[in-house]
Amino acid sequence: MHAMTIHDPIVSDLANDHRRAIDEVNSWRGHCIDCFARIELAVVEALDALEANRFWGEAEAAAAWQSSLSDTERQRRHDALAEIDRAFDGIE
């Protein structure tokens, strides 16, 4: 029986080239993910700002509309909403 000799791992240029290629791809992939995340953040911030502007404009318009209603109409709407709330009481 022969004694086994332990050798260093075989390192070929092909293995090194392959490792470098994978590292380059992963680096590019990381760059793309980072760019996408930055673009997504900018879009979300822009949409949030747009939504905030629209919300307050619509809220002011709704308040103006409600104040233009007669007392009778306001009471009728209040009663209708109260009826809906009562229908949902106790539902969880």
pLDDT per position as a tens digit, 5-32: 776 766 667 778 888 888 888 888 888 8
Q: Which residue shows structure tokens 């939504």?
A: 51
Q: What is the mean pLDDT of residues 56-80?
A: 93
Short-list 36, 31, 11, CA closest to 23: 31
Q: Using CA atoms, how far apart are residues 69 and 63, in angstroms rounded to an integer?
A: 10
Specify the pTM: 0.42
Phi, psi at residue 3, to the nearest 5°?
-80, 140
pLDDT at residue 53, rounded to an integer: 87
Amino acid making up residue 77: R
pLDDT at residue 45, rounded to an integer: 93
